[in-house]
Chains A and B, each alone.
Chain A
Amino acid sequence: RKEVEQDPGPFNVPEGATVAFNCTYSNSASQSFFWYRQDCRKEPKLLMSVYSSGNEDGRFTAQLNRASQYISLLIRDSKLSDSATYLCAVEYGNKLVFGAGTILRVKS
Chain B
Amino acid sequence: GAVVSQHPSRVICKSGTSVKIECRSLDFQATTMFWYRQFPKQSLMLMATSNEGSKATYEQGVEKDKFLINHASLTLSTLTVTSAHPEDSSFYICSAGDRAWQETQYFGPGTRLLVL
| A residues at B contact (CB < 8 Å) | 31-32, 34, 41-46, 49, 87, 91, 94-101
CB distance from A27 to the nearest CB of B (A): 14
Given contacts A42-B110, A43-B110, A46-B1, contact A91 B102 (CB under 8 A): yes
User: Are the CB atoms of B46 and A45 closer together than 8 Å?
Assistant: no
User: Are the CB atoms of A94 and B49 closer together than 8 Å?
Assistant: yes
Distance between Cα atoms of A87 and B43 in the complex (Å): 8
B56 within 8 A of A: no
User: Are the CB atoms of B34 and A95 closer together than 8 Å?
Assistant: yes
CB distance from A45 to the nearest CB of B (A): 7
User: Are the CB atoms of A96 and B1 closer together than 8 Å?
Assistant: no
Distance between Cα atoms of A87 and B45 in the complex (Å): 12
Contact indicator per residue, chain B 25-47, by CB within 8 Å of chain A (1) or not (0): 00000000010000000111010
CB distance from B103 to the nearest CB of A (A): 7
Residues of B in contact (CB 8 Å), total 19
User: Are the CB atoms of B49 and A34 closer together than 8 Å?
Assistant: no
Instruction: For B112, list chain A residues within 8 Å (CB).
Output: 41
B70 within 8 A of A: no
The one of A32, A42, A44, A101 that contacts B103, using a Cβ cutoff of 8 Å: A32
Instruction: For B43, list chain A residues within 8 Å (CB).
Output: 87, 98-101
User: Are the CB atoms of B107 and A98 closer together than 8 Å?
Assistant: no
B105 within 8 A of A: yes
Instruction: For B110, list chain A residues within 8 Å (CB).
Output: 42-43
Give the top 3 A-B pairs by smallest Cβ distance, nearest first. Answer: A100-B43, A43-B107, A98-B44
Which residue from chain B places its CB closest to the CB of A101 in the assembled complex? B43
User: Are the CB atoms of B34 and A43 closer together than 8 Å?
Assistant: no
B109 within 8 A of A: yes
Instruction: For B102, list chain A residues within 8 Å (CB).
Output: 31-32, 91
CB distance from B16 to the nearest CB of A (A): 26
Interface pairs (26), CB distance under 8 Å: A31-B102, A32-B102, A32-B103, A41-B91, A41-B112, A42-B109, A42-B110, A43-B93, A43-B107, A43-B110, A44-B107, A45-B107, A46-B1, A46-B105, A46-B106, A87-B43, A87-B44, A91-B102, A95-B34, A96-B34, A96-B105, A97-B46, A98-B44, A99-B43, A100-B43, A101-B43
